[in-house]
Structure 1
């Protein structure tokens, strides 16, 4: 039976099993955003969400968060740190299933990744203006090309036969996604489906990935990005959810520089994140490996990639 892993990335947290989503940190004082022209009709619910997430982005940027530089001299890491961070992000889950629902509880897991080519289908709600659709499509295609070059794994956009769906939808459109979710991931429980359709405001975006049994080999994924997000927050969600949907499902407060960290210091894939993705798709590792099986290989890979301790 297929097994769903939830990768939950919160802009203050992330999840896994194959749940990744974006939730926000503790409440922060958020200044009023500058008014922006509305290029598509809004429902009251969507207009409220757009204003709110505009405030969130402004507040995060005012604190020096959501960096786009990939890390630098202020964020050094060595081979031991890389190996430890990989193990924490790739071989642990932030969420465990209890009584049919996912609860926040970090537990050891198995290594997960795709073995089949990843075919991404992009779906937009009718509320998303055509110019934003074009921008999102170009960004996703460019990012997939980058990820494919990093991992050596085949990835492409093809709306006809996807196994990785990305929905960019408004509040009202997301609430009506139930039939689409069940068609894409038929083994999700009603509780899991409701985790998307009734997604709380604190969850910025998420991705569900599904593997066959306990194989750890992903065969399907379903990501949801809020259409109300301003530009950088929207791009950050795309970077994190797609990358977590590849198999880096957990977050760690020790991972720096990294988007797999609840502190939201980085908005886009970092230098260390690229190395972790290279490690994840290295032929010496394979889906289903336990922590004990993977650790010596991970340590050798980290040393090979950036050298030994200085």
Structure 2
């Protein structure tokens, strides 16, 4: 910061002048009136050059601080990218993250399909505040969307133009697949969406509280904390909401880490958007399925498409309990997978 220019204040003195006349004594000087200090000179205004230098200095300081923060954020994100790249490699080496839609080594029948649906659609993986509910989840009523699902993708500043374009293309294609499987309208929109997919870096995710409050008015504070403090082992997550205690969804937010590898990002799109449709739980016995924490399958399978078809069948109604839904689910499953002749 440039210091202001100040003119020094002069000291005041009284000069007694004696006029000497020839051969005459000087007359006494006239009385001196009380001296009053002069007004302090006005401080000159900084010049335009001074102002420009001050602005430039402030800008340099701000840029330096921003650069330091960016370097720190980049170092964290780079470390996370390395972590998730190693995670993908390890999973692939174990034969996981498979991408086959109809695996020949995992046949299914109507009974298995019905069982898996009841475990996935009528149980909750998480309790209040995103806390793990325990093995198998907790009982829950059937939930799904009533109105069309309008997907909206939002990005943090760390995502470049090419990344954003690729994401929107992928989500558009997957939305069409979800709509075809479920029979329920699902599409991508630029704004005004009721299902928001957020692609954020570590720093961006930790600062997302105010935006979440805008997207989902009345969102529980513990849910915001859960997303801000997402464990590194969780690649992504989704929260779906309804008005009051209604079993019909009205809003959903999916969070995907921007540091993930392309395959893990696609896997997150497939799982979180499908779970946000109403398939809320994971089951350790569901196979072949992305709704299983063993990560054997990375992408939506034909089995999972059938689960969506059951979920949005008109014979099932939101709010049904397992006991109410089970005979209907079994009937639908037998229609989808009739026994071989």
* Normalised-by-shorter TM-score class: 0.7 to 0.9
Which of 121, 133, 137 is 1:104 aligned to? 133
| Structure 2 Cα separation of the partners of residues 145 and 112 of structure 1 | 21
Q: What are the equivalent positions in structure 2 for 1:154-303 lying under 5 Å apart?
A: 154-303=185-334
> Relative contact order, CA 8 A, sep 6+: which one is greater?
1
| Structure 2 Cα separation of the partners of residues 277 and 197 of structure 1 | 30
Structure ranking higher in strand proportion? 1
Consecutive unaligned residues of structure 1, counting only runs of 5 or more, are 1-39
Shift of 1:214: 2.7
Q: What root-mean-square deviation, in Å, do the aligned CA atoms of Structure 1 and Structure 2 show?
A: 1.6
| Structure 2 Cα separation of the partners of residues 107 and 239 of structure 1 | 23
| Structure 2 Cα separation of the partners of residues 221 and 129 of structure 1 | 24
| Structure 1 Cα separation of the partners of residues 292 and 318 of structure 2 | 23
1:81 aligns with 2:109: no
SS at match of 1:188: coil
Per-residue CA deviation, residues 52-105 of structure 1 (Å, 9 max, x unaligned), is: 1111111111111000002322001110000000000000112233xx673423
CA contact (8 A) 2:182 2:312 kept: yes
CA contact (8 A) 1:214 1:288 kept: no
Q: 1:101 to 1:56 in 2, by over 3 A?
A: closer
CA contact (8 A) 2:130 2:226 kept: no
Shift of 1:159: 1.9
Structure ranking higher in helix proportion? 2
SS at match of 2:102: coil
Per-residue CA deviation, residues 204-259 of structure 1 (Å, 9 max, x unaligned), is: 10010001233210000001100000110010000000000000000011110000
Aligned residues: 269
Structure 1 partner of 2:84: 53
Q: TM-score, normalized by length of structure 2?
A: 0.76
Which of 44, 48, 57 is 2:75 aligned to? 44
Shift of 1:288: 0.8
| Structure 2 Cα separation of the partners of residues 194 and 277 of structure 1 | 30
| Structure 1 Cα separation of the partners of residues 233 and 340 of structure 2 | 40
Structure 1 partner of 2:67: none
Shift of 1:133: 1.2
| Structure 2 Cα separation of the partners of residues 213 and 292 of structure 1 | 23
SS at match of 2:319: coil
Structure 2 partner of 1:7: none
SS at match of 2:287: coil
Consecutive unaligned residues of structure 2, counting only runs of 5 or more, are 1-69
Q: TM-score, normalized by length of structure 1?
A: 0.83
